[in-house]
Structure 1
Amino acid sequence: MAGGVGAPRPRAQAQTSAQPRRRRHQAASLPIDVIAAIVARSDPATLVRCAATCGDMRGRVADPGFRLRLRHADHRFVPSLLRGLLLGDRESTYRNDDPLDMYLLDATAGSLRRAAESFAPGEDGEPLELYMPLSAREGLVLVRDGDLHVCNLATGRFETLPPEPEFGGLCVLLVGDGEDAGGGAVGRPFQVVKASLVLEEKHRRLVVQTFSSELGTWGPCTEIRTPQIHGRNLHGYSQALRIRPLVAGGAVHWLCFTDTAAYVLKLRVRSAAAAPPRLAVTKLPERFPYNGGRFSNNGWWWWIRHLLVTMAPGGSPAVLVADKDKISAWTQSKHSARWNQQPQVVIECKAISRFLGNVVGEERERQHMRNWHSEQATNLVGFAERSGVVLIKLYDCFFWLDLQSKQIVSCFLDPSIRDKNVYCPYEMDISNWVPSFSAASL
């Protein structure tokens, strides 16, 4: 028909030899092992979403070997592991045998709550009574009430240690990898290291004794000679080792200040059946500013200018130093492991002030900064080793400093925290990344 519309041809008929049919290609998929390796480098939310995709992935995530990989993954910080900061009323410090009025400054909710309301109850169903926290790591907390106890705040279970060594010293909690063997009541194997640096003129030594949950007993007392440490304890200090040790690379690191020099001690503690602990001592540069920082009469810092950290995941120890203008880091050379002679600026206090102004407004910012400068106290209260977060206290404000970005990422203001003791950051166990699956879901 003239001017008419012809009947449509079938699609296959319409194609010519010059236009060959397109082939459909199926998108290539990654092997499950590669996906699991990628997920192990992600964050908890990504891990859960990936585990929900298929049974094979849920099986990989539920594998104990996968949890071990997470614990050994020192190639990144995971800020979401930081649950908060443990605080206590200052007047309770004198009552070591009574439960403290303990609080958790919640890193997620930005609220201050009693610890009994934040954690699981004890095995008797009653709120868990917390005493003076000494050290926290991987979801476990070491506390003292005359005896030493290790508590799992996620389950409310705790283990009481045998009587500790009689010498005075600092206690550090180290947490192992397994969840069954040697885990005891708290579900994870652990060690408690007690150490004291004795600076006698003719017999300088580090005294060390270690408790192992796998053996259920304290090991032998070891004395390691330290002739390379010179000087005496600073005036007003009964112990040359500073509180807030760092656990990195499987070793415990302490700052040590004498009246003539500053040092970093690195103690590598072996397993219960292995060789005795090994000690390495390095001297900080002559220009390192250490002869400062007030000390309270009852043995707690009112403010802390120095803090051991790692600037990068799995990196070497560095020392943060705070003054009224900035926070700087004294770091080690990557090639020689010697301390660099000049610090690097991590963050200026003006940047902290700007963050505060964005949160509370310029007027309250100016008020807080006047209080801050009158005290000239930038208090470095703790380092969350898995999260890579430094906790800073300025007057009645807490700030979260992310070392990866060198930025303030959060802050909390409450006048009630001004007179509270700061004990330690509390990070959840990295195994809490992993969802629980029944056999039917795999």
Structure 2
Amino acid sequence: MAKAARVGAAGELLDDLLLLVFERLPGVQDLLRCAATCKQWLCLIKDPVFLRRIGLWPETAPRPSVLVGIFYQNVGANVAAAIQPMRRIPDSPPQFLSLQAGGGHLTFDSFVANDDGLFNFARPLASRRGLLLVRILLPTPADPQRREKLHLAVCRPLIDKRGRHLLPQPPFLVNHGFVRRHLTGYALLTDEDHRAIDDLDQQRRHPSFQVVLTYSAANRVMYACGYSSATDSWSTPIRCHQVSHLVRCGPYAGVVTSGTVHWLFTDQRSFYTLNVSVATAHVSLTKIPINVHAGEQRRRVPFPCVTGDGKLSFVSIQDDGVLELWAKQGQDDCDHGGAGGWLRSDLINLGSGDKINLVFFAERRGAMLVEQGGAFFTIDLKSKEKALVDLKGEEMEHVRGICRFPMHRCSSSWCSGFHCSWGKISPCAYNKPVLYEVDWIIEAR
């Protein structure tokens, strides 16, 4: 009995030493490698007490998650669209800013294999639950009347470097003669959104997903269509009659609640959400109570998010740096009616001294990620606590007041939906940065 007690004490001591080592690892990738080594290390690293100690599972977060970093593409849309066949062009895959300690600026092929140059000039579009949706730009003839095809791919950076899923072409062309069709929104969904798989282990090994696109055609008529990896096919486009008089604004990537995707629209007087149910193919429009103001607030439109109880919400950024949280109290899918059923509360006061450059929503963390004055920090939607993201790979004073992303004129924080250049107004085509957040899902070998 005494010998068994000594063995148990030695095991506990070894575990404590291992946890101290794990806590001092330079980055999340090293921690993932350790977790995949054996079941003993996996159990130690998955322990909620340890995850909370290293900041991967805040007390108010519904589940542990990793804010891995931000993908972005600096190549302008007009440059990428002019790619010519048989012409040598330097590789330009998306870039990546790590939010983990010891990170810094990395290349896209650090996470996704790009041996054949498939992701050169690729544009990150949306990320959700470890999946990343990108648009692939292939060489096309320099013909203004060309029928431009839309090439999309879904990959799992950090989790599966070699895994990539090329989607078949959707049932519409981006340009068709003089009739121009523009993407107005996109979204990623997983089986978890429909509760289609109860076995989480099966979901992790064989994850399936859906992609939803919205696009405008002639006379500003908008359509929505969806892709399912389970059937490897696209659905028939649905006509969205109610939004022909509205302009899409805010993030292109839609927010998902209970299998319904929401995008923000405006008529320059009020804001609305376009709601597309993936399961029922039902489309609706909901007016939200946040007013459209002149000046800075008109450019910085409300930012969509989801509260802990799964309700659609918005963060409104005021000119004085006050962030307000508008949380929906009723059903997600409402009709064109009034603005009732919303609760407004002050979230945090960030002050007006430094400009807010970027705002992201970390769904699994239940928090906003904000860049202000060169510094990143999270704001928990439940506790309203602010926590600095420690970028040890960079000197913060050096970048203070400087926007990290060249495409800062239209970022994740605000987008009117249109871009004005040389007196000509066209749909916004800037490459928005994409936050990459993953669940803390690790398996032993």
Q: TM-score, normalised by structure 1?
A: 0.61
Question: Structure 1 residue 381: deviation in Å?
Answer: 2.8
Q: Deviations over 1:48-76 (max 9, x none)?
A: 79x95799x89xx9xxxxxxxxxxxxx94
> What is the letter of the counterpart of residue 111 of structure 2?
F
1-structure distance, mates of 2:373, 2:218? 35
Alignment of 1:46-61 (within 5 A): none
Q: How does 1:342-357 map to 2 (within 5 A)?
A: 343-350=344-351
Aligned position for 1:114: 106
Could you tell me which residue of structure 1 aligns to residue 414 of structure 2? none
CA separation in 1, counterparts of 2:343 and 2:259? Answer: 27
Aligned residues, how many? 325
Per the TM alignment, residue 181 of structure 1 is displaced from its structure 2 partner at its CA by 9.1
Distance in 2 of aligned mates of 1:197 and 1:339:
30
1:168 counterpart letter in structure 2: H
Aligned AA (1:408): K
1:221 is matched with 237
Q: What is the CA–CA distance in structure 2 between the aligned matches of 1:329 and 1:87, rounded to whole Å? A: 27
Q: Is the 8 A contact 1:267 1:279 kept in 2?
A: yes
Q: Between the two proteins, what is the percent identity of the paired residues?
A: 21
Matching residue's letter, 1:349:
L
Tell me how large the CA RMSD over aligned residues is.
4.3
1:321 deviates by 0.9
The amino acid of 1:86's aligned partner reads F
Q: Secondary structure at the match of 1:343?
A: strand
Question: Would you say 1:308 and 2:314 are equivalent positions?
Answer: no
Q: 1:109 Cα deviation (Å)?
A: 1.4
Residue in 2 aligned with 1:394?
A: 372
- With the length of structure 2 as denominator, give the TM-score of the two structures: 0.60
CA–CA separation in structure 2 for the residues paired with 1:125 and 1:346: 46
Aligned-partner residue type, residue 348 of structure 1: N
Given candidates 161, 169, 175, the residue that maps to 2:167 is: 161
* 5+ long unaligned stretches in structure 2: 1-27, 48-59, 84-90, 138-150, 174-180, 409-431
Give distance in 2, aligned partners of 1:181 and 1:435.
12
Q: Secondary structure at the match of 1:419?
A: coil
* Residues 229-275 of structure 1: per-residue CA shift (max 9 Å, x gap): 6x844xxx6x46752421122211111111332112221102xxxxx
Instruction: Measure the CA separation in 2 of the matches of 1:259 and 1:174.
Output: 30
276-285 vs 104-113, which deviates more?
104-113
Secondary structure at 1:134 match in 2: strand
Shift of 1:383: 0.8
Residue 103 and residue 241 in structure 1: after superposition, are their counterparts in 2 closer, same or farther (change >3 A)? Answer: closer
SS of 1:94's equivalent? helix
Per the TM alignment, residue 341 of structure 1 is displaced from its structure 2 partner at its CA by 6.3
- Partner-residue secondary structure (3-state), 1:95: helix
Cα pair 1:304 1:380 within 8 Å, conserved: no
- Residue correspondence of structure 1 range 278-427 to structure 2 within 5 A: 278-285=282-289, 288-289=291-292, 304-310=300-306, 312-325=307-320, 326-333=322-329, 339=340, 343-350=344-351, 369=353, 372=354, 377-411=355-389, 413=396, 414=399, 415=402, 417=404, 419-420=406-407, 422-427=432-437
**What is the alpha-carbon distance in structure 2 between the residues aligned to residue 331 and residue 199 of structure 1?**
35
1:396, 1:417 within 8 Å by CA — same for their partners in 2? yes
Q: Is the 8 A contact 1:102 1:114 kept in 2?
A: no
Structure 2 CA distance, aligned partners of 1:187 and 1:94? 37
Partners of 1:159 and 1:341 in 2: CA distance: 39
The equivalent residue for 1:95 is: 79
- Bigger radius of gyration: 1
Cα distance change, pair 196–314 in 1 and its aligned pair in 2 (3 A):
farther
- The CA distance in 1 between the partners of 2:92 and 2:386, in whole Å, is 30
Write the deviation string for residues 338-383 of structure 1: whole angstroms up to 9, x where unpaired.
6456631100014xx8xxxxxxxxxxxxxxx3xx3xxxx4345321
**Equivalence for 2:265:** 256
Q: Distance in 1 between matches of 2:202 and 2:238?
A: 26
